[in-house]
Amino acid sequence: MTHPQTVVHLEHDGKVLLVDDDGIGPQIPVRGRTNIENESRFPTILEVESFDIKWEKLLSIRMNIGGNDFTVIKGYPKIPWPKNWAWKDDLISDNSVHPIARESVYRSIHRLVSKVIVRNSSNQILLARVSRGHFTGHWTLPGGYMEHNEHPSTGCVREAMEELGLELILSKEQPIITQQIFTDEGISFVSFTYHSKWNGELDELQLQEDEISDVKWFDEKSALEIVPSHFDREAIRESLS
């Protein structure tokens, strides 16, 4: 059957509301189910009202599945914890759950980034010009995506070594933590930015050539002006206060 153009992703402490094609629910997914039968999905606004659920809209996200545009409204249900709803982790591997619902849950997982502000004795900030990724051709703080089961303080040290051949010891300052959703696709990024000191020479560094094309020291004002990343700007700005 045709999927509704707009549905509601209600989530309460890991539980989400699924309904069948007739709007009847809650439906419970089965992990690892490969056949498509009695496909379940998120409810429409009217279907949520039929459950007499009061809820708060948090944001709307846009999806394009199979060349068709859909809107998913993320919301928080103002009800006691719905233990008879589906666990959101269970629906991802069930082919009988519509891809809109599975994609929405996937997008709700934070993307974690770990960066580091490296300063020298002149209080200059080390920036790297990246050769690929989101900020190709631009200057950024060293760092990148965290790996699975990796602490953010470990991630930025690993990235600095991989990208620059730079062995860092982080300072005891608390990391600067920022969060932002940048597009209407609704993917949330969380950045942890740490601090470190290094007074070596730039020609000592061994750049990962397919990722980093150059490194340079910048004074604080210039670094703040040149970085395109929201997270880098916020971290540098906060480190100045």
Question: How far from each other are the two terminal CA atoms of the chain, in whole angstroms?
Answer: 57
For residue 76, which amino acid is it? Y
Residue 45 structure tokens: 């606004």
3-state percent helix, strand, coil for the chain, nearest multiple of 5: 20, 35, 45
Candidates 3.90.79, 1.10.8, 3.30.300, 1.10.10; CATH matching 6-107: 3.90.79
pLDDT in tens, 125-156: 999 999 987 888 999 999 999 999 999 999 99
Beta strands in the chain (DSSP E): 6-12, 15-16, 55-65, 68-77, 86-87, 111-119, 125-130, 139-140, 143-145, 176-181, 188-197, 212-218
pLDDT in tens, 23-53: 999 999 999 999 887 899 999 999 999 999 9
pTM: 0.88
Q: Say if 6-107 and 111-240 have the same CATH topology.
A: yes
Q: In 10 A of CB 123, how many CB atoms? A: 10
Candidates 3.40.50.280, 3.30.67.10, 3.40.50.300, 3.90.79.10; CATH matching 111-240: 3.90.79.10
CA distance 115 to 195: 9
> For the chain, what are the domain ranges?
6-107, 111-240
